Amino acid sequence: MKLFDCLSSFGLLVTSSFVLHSFGIAAQNASSPWPVHDNGLNDVVEWDHYSFKVNGKRLFVFSGELHYWRIPVPEVWRDLLEKIKAAGFTAYAFYGNWGYHSPNNFMLDFTTGAHDFSPLLEIAKEVGLYVIVRPGPYVNAEANAGGFPLWLTTGAYGKLRNDDPRYTEAWKPYFAKYSEITSKHLVTNGGNAFVYQMENEYGQQWVGDPTHRVPNVPAGNYMQMLQDSARENGIDIPVIHNDPNMWTRSWSKDFSNSTGNVDVAGLDSYPSCWSCNLDECTGTNGEYVAYQTINYYDHFIENSVTQPKFFPEFQGGSYNPWDGPQGGCPNDIGADFANLFYRDLISQQISAISLYMMYGGTNWGAFAAPVTATSYDYSSPISENRIVGNKFYETKNLAMFTRVAHDLTMTDRLGNSTRYSTNPAIKSKILVTDFTLGDERLIYSTAEVLTFSIVDRKPVLVLSVGIGESVEFYLKGAKEGKVAKNRGASDVKFHRESHGLIVNLAQGPGASVIKLDNGVTVVVADKITAYKIWAPNLTNDPFAPVDKSVIVEGPYLVRGVFSSDEGKTLALTGDSAITTAIEVFASRSVRTLTWNGKNLNTSRTEYGSLTAHIQGVSHIIKLPPLDTWKVHDSLSEALPDYDDSGIAWVEADHTTTPNPTKPDTLPVLYVDDYGFHNSLHLFRGYFSGPATGVHISIAGGTAFGWSAWLNNIHIGSFFGNSTFGSETGNLTLSFSNATLHTDTSNILLIVQDNTGHGLREQATNPRGILNATLTGTNTTFKKWEIAGTAGGDNKILDPVRGPLNEGGLVAERLGWHLPGYDASSWNASSPSTGFSGAGIKFYRTTVPLDIPKGLDVSIGFILNAPGPQAIRVQLFVNGYQYARFNPYIGNQIEFPVPPGVLNYSGENTIGWRFGVRVLRGRRWRLIGRSCIVWRVVGVLALIQSI
């Protein structure tokens, strides 16, 4: 009490042991001595050391990242953006992926299927979210080559990420087109994109110690060229950057006036590491210390003192490494992490946060860099299968508060001493004093504010407490109060004070409603009940004005609200798979509620809210069994008389390579040098003479593998491993088990399953054979032929799925994985029967689905194999490669596949190839009656009545 008494003339926040205050936005605007910046082109977006302003209004940016290329179904993007909006966010962010848009150095695709990202920006406008656009050219993102196109990885374009003219010429068309498309959706142009990021984590402004400020000239030139290109192509919003850590100090105008500086310099941080393999947590962000928050405040003061404290990336989860557990690694970065760390940011005056990732998605096709498995779930608030759970709700509870607590956009730090609280257990609460609720004031509250809405000119305030915690709040101007609804409240006391009314209570599970005589309604909910309290807005204004929002308690998700019938009907949209009671605080003029278009039997409570029940889903979704399969051998290339003169094959005849890593033997057998880049590649080496064996060294990235056959006899396999950073697999194989022809050509077939190109400077590490040396003879290989993705990178045969979908297996080259392929002549067999020995088989089935319209059903495939079999399996669903199941190396067994890739009302073509890294003499199979099962991961929603 004392604390608040002595400071009661200020707006004030107590966050753990920190105290922030705001004098109120109006007062500060008039008197602030701090410069307000704009980018010199317009003042639509401005900023100062407090926050961003859009069209003159201060904005608390609570944003989250998603990657459209990791969910290649534009129809699903709306679902994700509506979920982000429902969570109280004001913005979202996305990276581009140059490689997805550019199959070769003369083509760009921004129009076919999900390559057209403009719907993302249009939906953002419709649902009311500002957008942070981050085109690259380099993004990192655990994407193959960090999002670079794979044709760029050969070394022919230099080291990349500098001002080398070869690289410059390469990125310009991509970056120009990206800017041009985005420019139609800027806040300066009626859209919602409000900042544009240059590069990513490019902390390379300085040579040596940044405090000496010795510019790295090529880096500065590169950053400047990016900005010039963006400006030339219509980007007139502020350009930003995302510095990788606190010691690189790059691109801030407050730190230097060097070439390449951006308008607003942001920082990223992953305090709990960025991988659930904690051994990796030593580099970029320093040593991992569990639940230890980090001091960023001083860094921002030193580095960007006149700019908002901005995290274009803050840890929203962590990626799934090959050896990580199935389902990701949520333990260190679950709901508790969100609760503590995001509040801590606010205590450090951060006013712009973007969570990386908000929705992670899937590394389908060859999207992954070698470090990560198929799943990019990222333990993010919205799961890969689009389900939301506690982490989403925990994040939502804070974001909803930041959206209504406008003073957060203008706070000063009073201090960070523990004298503000005598309770050491207080770690992460944000408690407000003198908090504005429209025309009313909350003098203080010991419960956190979840949100508030102004309904018929009076506030409905929602407070959130830990279960059983006692609460005290003091409302200015009230004299009396009563408990209008008691759900778990006890010891309720009202105490009249000189300025208003103090209310005390203990709140158990549930939400109680207290009415005060000045018209204020206070809902006090325990935290878990508050998880299901929403504040949808009647406008698409990202600021979500409080007098246009309603409060809804009950459903799993409330996406939106609109009013019809001259305000008499309130139409809610949302998800609820189970029958749920809802309570709505909305204008008295509303008489009826609808839920996803269906009228609800609506009643009014004594205290003015509306109640109803929404029906859950009664359908039991049964998926047809996957038990009728056809099989075809997919390794004809091992046969000595196989004809490799066809168009799929390229003779490897290069004797030099632009790659900085030179091979030990010639010809050059780097696949990218021959226009092949993804997943599986085949090498056929011809030799004659009396060799006794062969030494092979192949670079393929962490978790890659390869197998070799001599004259159709399997002679060995490199199984691979998940060791972080392991790039190559070397074996010396004996020919003793094979029959060697002394006078004719022998064929050594090598099948390599490449896991992609590495990140940052490792992007140009070669993929392919580094050394192929015959042993026991002086003879060398006479000739090598290479096959990869059909058409190489000159012809893009499948523009919809795009350049990263397929590899070079005969099954892929001949389209066995595609819908419509006629496999009627194939033999019947199933992957659960499997096969003996080393080989590659392709299994195929077609199954109908008939998911009732209006249901949002999430479906996943589960793969299993008895024991840690040395098999490598890929799943193709309607031609999309949606799983890499490598049980010998990785732990992922469940693979969600989104609607749109699966046809929910028609036939689906499911293909499998498995084999490659197998031992001889054993039967390899997948388990389960039908070997592969698919299951309904969840019925997420009843979108419309059926």
- Interface positions with ligand GAL (CB under 6 A): 139-142, 200-201, 244, 268, 274, 313, 319, 356
The amino acid occupying position 937 is V
The number of helices, as runs of H, and strands, as runs of E, in the chain is: 12, 54
Q: CB within 8 A of 209, min separation 6: which ones?
A: none
Output 140 or 348, the one with its CB closest to ligand GAL. Answer: 140
Tracing tokens 């320093």 back to the chain, one arrives at 286
**Which string of DSSP letters, residue by residue, matches 524-587?**
EEEHHHHHTEE--BSS--TT--GGGB-EEESSSEEEEEEEETTTTEEEEEEE-SS-EEEEEE--
Residue 675 contacts residue 650 (beta carbons within 8 Å): yes
Residue of closest CB approach to ligand GAL: 140
Residue 3: CA atoms inside 13 Å, Cβ hemisphere, count?
Answer: 19
Q: How far is the CB of 143 from ligand GAL (least distance, A)?
A: 8
Output 281 or 838, the one with its CB closest to ligand GAL. Answer: 281
Farthest-apart Cα atoms in the chain, separation: 107
Residue 702 contacts residue 727 (beta carbons within 8 Å): yes
Residue 358 contacts residue 64 (beta carbons within 8 Å): yes
Q: How far is the CB of 242 from ligand GAL (least distance, A)?
A: 6
What is the distance between the alpha carbons of residues 345 and 266, in angstroms, rounded to a whole number? 14
Q: How far is the CB of 318 from ligand GAL (least distance, A)?
A: 7
Nearest to 461 by CA among 503, 523, 510: 523
Q: How far is the CB of 699 from ligand GAL (least distance, A)?
A: 22
Q: How far is the CB of 226 from ligand GAL (least distance, A)?
A: 16
Q: How far is the CB of 778 from ligand GAL (least distance, A)?
A: 48
Residue 315: CA atoms inside 13 Å, Cβ hemisphere, count?
Answer: 32
**Which string of DSSP letters, residue by residue, matches 466-517?**
-TT-EEEEEEET---EEEEE-SSEEEEEEEE-SSEEEEEEEE-SSEEEEEET
Output 354 or 529, the one with its CB closest to ligand GAL. Answer: 354
Output 377 or 448, the one with its CB closest to ligand GAL. Answer: 377
What is the distance between the alpha carbons of residues 574 and 940, in angstroms, rounded to a whole number? 10
Nearest to 590 by CA among 565, 613, 567: 567
Output 142 or 344, the one with its CB closest to ligand GAL. Answer: 142
Output 139 or 668, the one with its CB closest to ligand GAL. Answer: 139
Rg (CA), the chain: 30
**Other CB atoms within 10 A of residue 419 CB:** 9
Catalytic site residue 497?
no
What's the token pair of residue 160? 């990349």
Residue 201 contacts residue 244 (beta carbons within 8 Å): yes
Catalytic site residue 201?
yes
Q: How far is the CB of 61 from ligand GAL (least distance, A)?
A: 17
**Residue 647 CB-density burial (10 A; 0-12 exposed, 13-18 middle, 19+ buried):** exposed
Output 316 or 834, the one with its CB closest to ligand GAL. Answer: 316
What is the distance between the alpha carbons of residues 451 and 441, in angstroms, rounded to a whole number? 14
What's the token pair of residue 76? 């699903």
Output 202 or 735, the one with its CB closest to ligand GAL. Answer: 202
Reply yes or no: is the peptide bond before residue 357 cis, omega within 30 of 0. yes
Which phi and psi angles does 230 have, rounded to 5°?
-60, -45
Q: How far is the CB of 67 from ligand GAL (least distance, A)?
A: 10
**Other CB atoms within 10 A of residue 945 CB:** 12
Q: How far is the CB of 141 from ligand GAL (least distance, A)?
A: 4
**Strand, helix or coil for residue 100:** helix
* Signed CA dihedral, 465, 467, 472, 475: sign only: positive
Q: How far is the CB of 363 from ligand GAL (least distance, A)?
A: 12
Output 287 or 641, the one with its CB closest to ligand GAL. Answer: 287
What is the distance between the alpha carbons of residues 695 and 730, in angstroms, rounded to a whole number? 7
Output 252 or 428, the one with its CB closest to ligand GAL. Answer: 252
What is the DSSP code (8-state) at residue 673?
G
Angle at 54 between CA 50 and CA 58, to 5 degrees: 35
Q: How far is the CB of 725 from ligand GAL (least distance, A)?
A: 15
What is the distance between the alpha carbons of residues 943 and 946, in angstroms, rounded to a whole number? 9
What is the DSSP code (8-state) at residue 143?
B
Output 250 or 869, the one with its CB closest to ligand GAL. Answer: 250
Output 142 or 394, the one with its CB closest to ligand GAL. Answer: 142
Catalytic-labelled residue, pool 201, 637, 785, 894: 201
H or E element in which residue 743 lies: none
* Signed CA dihedral, 525, 529, 530, 535: sign only: negative
Q: How far is the CB of 311 from ligand GAL (least distance, A)?
A: 11
What's the token pair of residue 258? 């060097």
Q: How far is the CB of 140 from ligand GAL (least distance, A)?
A: 3
Catalytic-labelled residue, pool 313, 394, 637, 812: 313
What is the DSSP code (8-state) at residue 238?
P
Output 280 or 633, the one with its CB closest to ligand GAL. Answer: 280
What is the distance between the alpha carbons of residues 836 and 838, in angstroms, rounded to a whole number? 7
Tracing tokens 């980090």 back to the chain, one arrives at 294
What is the distance between the alpha carbons of residues 739 and 712, in angstroms, rounded to a whole number? 9
**Strand, helix or coil for residue 810:** helix
Catalytic residues: 201, 313
